[in-house]
Structure 1
Amino acid sequence: MAKIRLGILGGGADSLIGILHRVAANMFDQFEITGGVFDVKHEKSLQFGEKLQLDKSRVYKDLDHLIITEKQLPEDKRIEAVSILTPNFLHFPMAKKLLENGFNVICEKPLTTTYEEAKILNELQQRSNVIFAVTYTYTGYPMIRQMKTMIANGDIGKIQKVDVQYYQGWINPLIHDKEKRSATWRLDPEKSGISCCIGDIGTHAFNMAEFVTGMKVENILADLNYLYEDNPMDIDGTVLLRFQDNIKGVLRASQIATGEENNFTVQIYGDKGGLKWEQENPNYLYLLKEDQPLQVIKPGHGFLSEFSLEGIKLPPGHPEGIFDSMGNIYYGVAMAIRDKSKFDGAYPKLNDGLRGMNFIEKTVSSHKKGNVWIEMKD
């Protein structure tokens, strides 16, 4: 079967996210990177395209040229899906144009910079016949998918407590220097949206809480931290969560957790047991029971769920990581493009990005109104 022709917007030069997406796209031999716009400067984009050994004519000056030129090509030659790896403020205009012109889309999170923009994309996608994925990367980990399956199967009983934490310390060298914190795009509302910490990593935790539990957050109460009066963007925060049946949860996110690298942990507790997972040790899922020893579940074994095993590429004992997780999402997108009735749940959909934007705005609103409870309505 011919590979799906993939275009990429952004992600050139030394972009970490670019490497992650390119490796993931190639992992299951489902995609072929065909062209794109890798940099705002065309010369740099061409240089990067040459490095990827792409046809020079498929490395475009901008998105408009990509769309016009590709649509003139025969259907079996043109780009079929486009990955958006640009700064946040470009997600909406790029995704909108791609949807309007019939391209499948894979978009980095957050989906847009406002909830209203996200709703526009949602309406466009519902009227189209294309696939739209939002790369909440961590949902692709086999042990996260095993966790989701075990919770759905009732292995830990009725959920009583949801605890998600995402701690980083990367912004410490910038936030305490007035010049530096004014210069980074992450702290510029025009480029990043109304939130830095919650918008960047808090949405991962929010999406994960809903993904593994199968429940929707119904109400939130937020307390955010900005540190300096001239800093318009949160860089730390705690959000109380209420799910259905008044099930309680807490979401903690920080970019000033000194010394932390990428400490994303998920802990779900039921009346019969608990499950714990740590992103920095992603091949271990811990099952806790009051009357049994701690159990450690690892990927690749035949007794695991089909959903977990779909994303396994190596025998047990061979560690899989962030590239594999993103690769599993790309594989889910590929299967959906080939047959839209299959692989539901194997990749985060546009609606997940829509809920993420709603969460960001409700969180900021809760904080600014004096740390009050706000209903999460779509």
Structure 2
Amino acid sequence: MGKGRIKLGMLGGGKGAFIGIAHRIAAYMGERYELVGGAFDSDYDKALEFASDLQLDASRVYPDTETLIKKENLLPESERIEVVSIVTPNFLHFDMAKKLLEGGFHVVCEKPMTMTSAEAEILADLVKSSGKQLCLTHTYTGYPMVRQMKTMIAAGEVGTIQRVDVQYYQGWINPLIHDEKLRKSIWRLDPKRAGISSCMGDIGVHGFNLVEYTTGIEITAVLSDLNTLYKDNTLDVDGTVLLRLAGGAKGVLRSSQIATGEENNIMIMVYGDKGALKWQQENPNELTLLKENHPLQILKPGHSYNAQFTKDSTKMPPGHPEGIFDAMGNLYRGMAKAVRGEKLENGEFPTVQDGVRGMHFIEKVVKSNKDGNVWITI
């Protein structure tokens, strides 16, 4: 078990990359990590310029993943990078994660974890055989009130789950997709870089993950109806998925990148026979509790009535809003505890198995739609 701050490396996330900024802020937040180097850009000169802006040692800036692994492993164990964050486009994730795990590094990876479920299974086997950790950044699981929702459901406060309803609506592709030239320039609509799905692969999978995370119940089958909008666009930009859960509950997942005017409208509602819980990402500090013949209750972070897991995931006093960086920071905190061999709560960070589940979901949703909107077992 190491001591002191965890030495962090990064693949991608260079100058102007929002997701890189998000990961760096999240890592710094808990004062558990120190960014020391990485391969920040496919253009090595740009990577060096970026590293200089961050006042990083130029000798720890690498042109590619292979060089990082080779050079870092030549350093004394106390000095080398321990955890590497992958913040690149989808098609690069698997190869990078595989090489890093084989090279002896822990991995934080953006989702989707891989391009196929077969690749995801390979990474799962590697995590097991290497003894290394892989954290998949399903960031919304890091919100305190999502963790409170998970804890309350596990404690039976809403009773037996009867129905789930989850949505993730964005509108960012809408201004671009109606122009043929523009839509062909979007990497998320390119199967070679995005995989077999755009909408479900990018954001629908977050809804899938939230259902399984909060309820603790696996989704067993899906029936999907997807929309590509144009015949020359092969990937979905909108869709609805019916869900069947283990134990008999049913539900629906709705996801769209052409929901005009929407920003990041995530909502999850879980209905049991004793009550219901509702959470919205655009108002993340409120968890709504509904019960028969009781007034509606709003639970908020920072209060003593919350579970210990929720309190541990809350950084500010009541009334001080926490957001997406804080949520991602909780994942990095959980990963740090795992790397250092500390005791973990159930659900501190999404693991490689969440990545495997997500890839199976994406593939089965696409197959259900392709086969004529039929039920497919996950």
Q: Same fold (TM over 0.5)?
A: yes
The verdict on how the C-alpha distance between 1:152 and 1:343 changes in structure 2, with shifts beyond 3 A counting, is closer
Tell me which of 264, 275, 292 is aligned to 1:290.
Answer: 292
Aligned-residue RMSD, C-alpha = 0.8
**Corresponding residue SS for 2:100:** helix
- TM-superposed CA distance for 1:244, in Å, is 1.3
- TM-superposed CA distance for 1:312, in Å, is 1.0
- TM-superposed CA distance for 1:183, in Å, is 1.1
Separation of aligned partners in 2, 1:348 and 1:67: 24
Name the amino acid aligned to 1:127.
S
Name the amino acid aligned to 1:37.
A
**Corresponding residue SS for 1:173:** helix
1:130-279 mapped onto 2 (5 Å cutoff): 130-279=132-281
Do the aligned partners of 2:9 and 2:85 also contact (CA within 8 Å) in 1? yes
Separation of aligned partners in 2, 1:185 and 1:326: 24
Do the aligned partners of 1:336 and 1:343 also contact (CA within 8 Å) in 2? no
Greater Cα shift, 12-21 or 349-358 = 12-21
**Corresponding residue SS for 1:40:** coil
Alignment partner, residue 92 of structure 1: 94
- TM-superposed CA distance for 1:341, in Å, is 5.1
**Corresponding residue SS for 2:318:** coil
Alignment partner, residue 362 of structure 1: 364
Separation of aligned partners in 2, 1:119 and 1:296: 40
- TM-superposed CA distance for 1:221, in Å, is 0.4
Aligned length: 376
Identity among equivalent pairs (%): 60
1:333-372 mapped onto 2 (5 Å cutoff): 333-339=335-341, 342-372=344-374
- TM-superposed CA distance for 1:344, in Å, is 4.0
**Corresponding residue SS for 2:8:** strand
Separation of aligned partners in 2, 1:108 and 1:205: 16
Structure 1 moving runs of 4+ over 2 Å: 340-344
Do the aligned partners of 2:127 and 2:134 also contact (CA within 8 Å) in 1? yes
1:70-149 mapped onto 2 (5 Å cutoff): 70-149=72-151
1:1-30 deviations in Å (ceiling 9; x for gaps): 410000000111111111110000000100
Separation of aligned partners in 2, 1:40 and 1:191: 15
- TM-superposed CA distance for 1:342, in Å, is 2.9
1:37-87 deviations in Å (ceiling 9; x for gaps): 111000110111111110010011111111110000000000000000000
Separation of aligned partners in 2, 1:209 and 1:343: 19
- TM-superposed CA distance for 1:343, in Å, is 3.6
TM-score by length of structure 2 reads 0.98
Separation of aligned partners in 2, 1:106 and 1:250: 30
Separation of aligned partners in 2, 1:17 and 1:251: 25
Separation of aligned partners in 2, 1:200 and 1:289: 34
Alignment partner, residue 38 of structure 2: 36
TM-score by length of structure 1 reads 0.98
- TM-superposed CA distance for 1:283, in Å, is 0.2
Separation of aligned partners in 1, 2:166 and 2:255: 9
Separation of aligned partners in 2, 1:332 and 1:124: 20
